[in-house]
Amino acid sequence: MTGEDAETVTGDPAALPGEDGLPRCPWALSTPDYVTYHDEEWGRPVHGDDALFERLSLEAFQSGLSWITILRRRPGFRAAFAGFGIAAVAEFTDADRERLLADTGIIRNRAKIDATLANARVLAGWASGDLDALIWSHAPDPAGRPAPKALTDVPAVTPESTALSKALKKRGLRFVGPTTAYALMQACGLVNDHLESCVARSAL
C-alpha cells in the first residue's frame, strides 16, 4: 500500500497484531474492510484483461484519495462501469458519461471518468491477453527483492513501475503514472510488499 494510506501510520512499524492477535501490515488495521482486503486480495496474483482493467481504473480513481474511499465504493464502481468489462465500457456513450458524472456511488471526477472511458476504447483494440501480458512482463524478479521489514522499506515508485507506466502511456493509456503503476503492481501480486513478519506474506 502506497501514498496516503501508508502515510497515516506513524513511526516505522513492523507488522502489528490485529484483534485476532495475528501480525499484519500496519496500514491494514484501521478498519475491518482493510483487514479483509489485506488478507484476501492485496498482493495476490490477478490475471485477465478485464480484471486488470478494473484494478488499473480503481488505482487511477484512488490518486489523491485514501484507498478505503475506493474500496467502500467498489460495488458502486462495478455497477456503474458494467463490471469493468473492457468491451462494454468501450461502447459507453455521451449519455453514459453524463450518468457517471451524476453517480454518487463512485468518485465523480471528470478527468478520471474520461480517462477510464478512453482507456477502455484503447484496450478494446488490443488482442485478448495483451494487457495481462504487458503488465506481468514488468514484474521484477522476486529473488532481487528482500522482504520489507517496515513500512519505510516499501517504495512508492520503482524502476519497474516507471517502465510499466511508460509502456502503458506509449500505447495510449491515461492516468497511469509510476506511482499508480506501482500501486497496481502491489495490489495485483507483481510484487509482494507484505512486511516480513506479516501473516499474509507467508500465505502467498
Residues assigned a catalytic role:
37, 59, 67
CA gap 63, 148 in Å, rounded: 24
CA gap 181, 165 in Å, rounded: 6
CA gap 39, 148 in Å, rounded: 17
CA gap 89, 76 in Å, rounded: 15
Q: How many CB atoms lie within 10 A of CB 176?
A: 22
Which positions ≥6 away from 70 have C-beta within 8 Å? Answer: 58, 61, 62, 77, 107
Angstrom CA distances, 28 to 5, 38, 42, stand at: 9, 6, 10
96 burial level (CB within 10 Å; 0-12, 13-18, 19+) = middle
Please answer whether residues 77 and 109 qualify as being in contact, where contact means their C-beta atoms are separated by less than 8 angstroms: no
